[in-house]
Structure 1
Amino acid sequence: MSKLVWLRNDLRVVDNTALLQACQYRQASEPVIALYIATPMQWHEHHEAPIKIDFIQRRLVELRQSLAALNIPLIVKEVADFAAVPACILALTQQYQVGHVFCNKQYLINENQRDLRVGEQLASHSIKLSVFDDDCIIEPGRVLNKQGDPFKVFTPFRKTWVRVYHDQVASRGVPLVQPAPEAITDIDARDDDVIDDRSRSFVTADLHSPSALHFSYPVTNSIDWAVDDEAIRQRLLTFCYEKAMNYHANRDYPAIDGTSCLSPYLAIGALSLRQCFHTLMTEYPECLENPESGAFTWFNELVWREFYRHLMDAHPKLCREAPFHDWTKFVRWQNDENHLRAWQQGETGFPIVDAAMRQLKATGWMHNRLRMIVASFLTKDLLIHWQAGEQWFMSHLIDGDMASNNGGWQWAASTGTDAQPYFRVFNPTIQGQRFDPKGEFVRKWIKELKDVPDKFIHSPHLWLGAHTLSYPRPIVDHKQARLLAIETFKRANEQGKLQGSV
């Protein structure tokens, strides 16, 4: 019987638990087949960015080559949405005489329900489904407080995470990163009895000469992001060996190339969190004991990503667009459509906000400090619901990730974990002056401001030559907006107490 590996957001050969297990479970002469199912209608519902889908298409072409070197064919199917996935997989198991399906767990609600239906469908035909915890370094449910509950605040989560990690490594004695499977040599995966040329979807006749993939979804060119294994590996190594030591000092300055830019690869699983952590620990083995170091600061970011996944698993309501803190349902958002449009197009009159939003629209990526600035501006200065920003980000980001995106937006909006509604209101002008003091980043993305002196680059309307600019004046007064935001959240909190939601 064949073994089928169902790939989702784990598009890699190295450190892929499901793939490795499928190869280890196979008996002599049993083929291993890999499968990826595109779901364009589901992508639309989840606001997936066209540039991310192009990135996935390009990555799948490279992945097919990597799998072909292991004598594992990759089948790529397209169905409308998750509801159509069980029938698709069942048909393939019957077509290729599959007795066992392997996949890595996803923690979001729609994905969980899809997997339950797939499991039921397969079980009714006596086909086994094995699902593995692979997306996190430490699987959800293992990092708990003294009461045995999941953490709701990051810092104690991270401290316990470190302890659990050390215990896990000591008790299991297993390598952090799993190797790629060994090549299958006792069969020819290109034989007709393994892959029927007449019934494949996107599988090419020659698995070693893969063709491009084109899903029924709009795409934006992602060519600036390499997708081959060696380029991805080199990007990780270069960051850890050359930039991580100064990460804490450089990460907040968008004009400096000081961040890893690995988030797109993590988002589609071309790279795993374990690979990142392992490479960091190899270069900086004492970094967990040195919280002032750049290496520890990047480690902290990796654990934030893991924290948001644990939250999604523990609190399914987050997948349904609910706020983490129930009392914030009473926040009276203003939701001004003109203000929202100005924010989306980078025309708010606040240079650091506008430059960031224009970068997002042009490249599908945004510097992390800027993500916090623009999120604070939308939710606090404009009092527009965080969901509008969350959806805009997902529909444009090449590294769009539901857990991280939702977590980041709710953090900025003070509706999520570590909520600080009374002082987490960023001043966009001061943020720009602090992190882009000479306006290098602003001038790159806002050509209208190229002649504005450094002194006025973050407040160009105060410059004597402002009348010559084709750049909008600020759409709100930050001081007044800040006071209104604080008062709005205070009233929501009081109402929540009356309603028993606090």
Structure 2
Amino acid sequence: MNSKSQSTISAVNHALLWLRADLRVTDNTALNYAIASGLPVIAVYIVTPMQWYQHHISGRQIDLIERRLHVVKQQLNDINIPLLVVECHDFSTVPATIATLCQQHQISAVYCNRQHPWNEKQRDFAVEQALIAQDRQWHCVDDYCVLPPGSVLTQQQKMYKVFTPYRNAWLKQFLSYNYQPVTNSDKVTFSQHCLNLLEGKSKVNGDIQTFNYSKQDSLLWPVDESAIQQRLQMFCETKAEYYQQQRDFPAIDGTSCLSPYLAIGALSARQCLAALMEALPQCVEINKQNGAFVWLSEVIWREFYNHLLDSYGRLSKHQPFQLYTHHVRWLENSDHLHAWQQGKTGFPIVDAAMRQLATTGWMHNRLRMISASFLVKDMLCDWRIGEQWFMQQLIDGELASNNGGWQWAASTGTDAQPYFRVFNPTTQSERFDPNGEFIRQWVPELQYVPDKYIHSPSLWSGFGDVDYPLPIVDHKQMRLLAIDSYKQAKTCYDSQREA
């Protein structure tokens, strides 16, 4: 390239699209804004391995992200937007990296979609300040939720603390507007000069380099656009109607299994609702409690937990929503914790769930509640240990939903039910896996145990011939101990407040 052409290229301003948890081209708000700016667009994804380790992101999710980036790279290339993938140590080095990119590639404006966890918000503030110092524009827009945090409030303009009234308010607002997935411009005016500018200076036009992270195989989850959209459409058209009846039975393929795509942004919540409402318009009829409405409610749960995370910074900092639960005296038993992690507690439904998680990186939602309740209420183990373990394993790990789910199970969150709700793992097993079909799939050593004893195999006369552990705890005793521990914690907290 001669000096004259280089000078011409350098004089052209560009827009930078910073991809994060929004790995898609369709229905990407920041991408639309970047295109609408009229500037040639460059996209970047920043790899932050040490930050991922600090956030306990699972190797399967990182593998899924890496595979998805190959798809996004081609999709962006089809609309003449190059994708640059760079690596930073952690969030602290991101502002300098963005500033350097802006200087190298004549970036006048940076576009991204807002993230809600505390560390991500602090990172974005630091980036914004660095760009202001360079006299560059910063556009961080709402995209992750259907309704942005802060938009669904009580009459006192405060965040809801209980789900059902939040859901009612959410639906009222949702139905008052025509919320639809945004679309991208059919044609993007983009000169070849942007590709020329990046060529030879980065890996943008070569293969995406393997991430420097301990990964696990995510091949159970296809990442191409057609497969993801087909999975969404198939669920809405064939399963959503029966979701209420089937969703709690892990042996039945009755859930959407879309959560990994929502977690990394390969699919948006808006796309999910648009597909659902097209297939089953009655899904918004709250009084009918149809299957589609129940799935819609699950999407709203995701919104609820993200809105809470955005409103209460302590939820990102390993703190409970219910402050009195700071005083719960947790038990420390490394043998019991290891047994739970390995799926060897002697409670078949818990063990099947934990083995499914370890093998696939995914766990059925009913089983997440059962296994979480068991850790906290039957083992009296600090819920944060379980929250971290799940994040390290889950392919769909997402701070707001994982934290919200664990605090729900631990009775430390916003749930309206008091602390003395304790799941009985045996009766849960009998109810939701009555014939032990799921148990036998994941705990094969129990495959010959009669149905009558599949949920409590230690009561079977032939148990001595089975290579399976005895129950590590007595549920009745631990239930009473857990309730008493929470009761004492609340008494302690109340007395300190009165003092």
Q: Could you say which TM-score interval applies, normalised by the shorter chain?
A: over 0.9
Percent same amino acid at aligned positions?
Answer: 53
CA distance in 2, matches of 1:144, 1:186: 42
CA 1:263–1:186: 2 relative to 1, 3 Å: closer
CA 1:196–1:95: 2 relative to 1, 3 Å: farther
CA contact (8 A) 2:199 2:205 kept: no
Decide which of 150, 153, 163 is 1:144's aligned counterpart: 153
Aligned: 1:372 with 2:376:
no
1:44-83 superposed matches below 5 A: 44-83=53-92
CA positional deviation for 1:420: 2.9
Counterpart amino acid of residue 277 in structure 2: M
Alpha-carbon displacement from aligned partner over 1:305-356 (angstroms, at most 9, x marks no partner): 0000000111111111110010011111112111111100001000000000
CA positional deviation for 1:147: 1.2
Aligned: 1:337 with 2:346:
no
CA positional deviation for 1:298: 0.1
- State the partner residue of 1:413: 410
CA positional deviation for 1:168: 3.3
CA distance in 2, matches of 1:418, 1:465: 42
Residue segments in structure 2 that go unaligned for 5+ positions in a row: 1-12
- State the partner residue of 2:297: 300
CA distance in 1, matches of 2:301, 2:350: 24
1:164-313 superposed matches below 5 A: 164-169=173-178, 176-188=180-192, 191-193=195-197, 195-197=198-200, 199-200=201-202, 202-205=203-206, 211-290=207-286, 291-313=288-310
CA contact (8 A) 2:162 2:416 kept: no
CA positional deviation for 1:167: 2.6
Aligned: 1:10 with 2:34:
no
CA contact (8 A) 1:39 1:78 kept: yes
SS class of match (2:42): strand
Aligned positions, number: 486
Alpha-carbon displacement from aligned partner over 1:261-306 (angstroms, at most 9, x marks no partner): 0000000000001111111111122221144200000000000000
- State the partner residue of 1:208: none
Decide which of 452, 456, 459 is 1:459's aligned counterpart: 456
- State the partner residue of 1:125: 134
TM-score norm. by structure 1 comes to 0.95
CA positional deviation for 1:154: 0.3
Decide which of 425, 430, 455 is 1:428's aligned counterpart: 425
SS class of match (1:90): helix
Counterpart amino acid of residue 12 in structure 1: R
- State the partner residue of 1:172: none
TM-score norm. by structure 2 comes to 0.95
SS class of match (2:187): coil
Alpha-carbon displacement from aligned partner over 1:107-143 (angstroms, at most 9, x marks no partner): 1111011001101111111110101011111111111
Residue segments in structure 1 that go unaligned for 5+ positions in a row: 170-174, 206-210
- State the partner residue of 2:7: none
- State the partner residue of 1:324: 321
SS class of match (1:473): coil
CA contact (8 A) 1:70 1:181 kept: no
CA distance in 1, matches of 2:383, 2:498: 19
Counterpart amino acid of residue 203 in structure 1: V
CA contact (8 A) 2:70 2:208 kept: yes
CA contact (8 A) 2:85 2:208 kept: no
CA contact (8 A) 1:352 1:442 kept: yes
CA contact (8 A) 1:58 1:213 kept: no
Alpha-carbon displacement from aligned partner over 1:43-67 (angstroms, at most 9, x marks no partner): 0000000000000000000100110
CA contact (8 A) 1:328 1:493 kept: yes
- State the partner residue of 1:487: 484
CA positional deviation for 1:185: 4.2
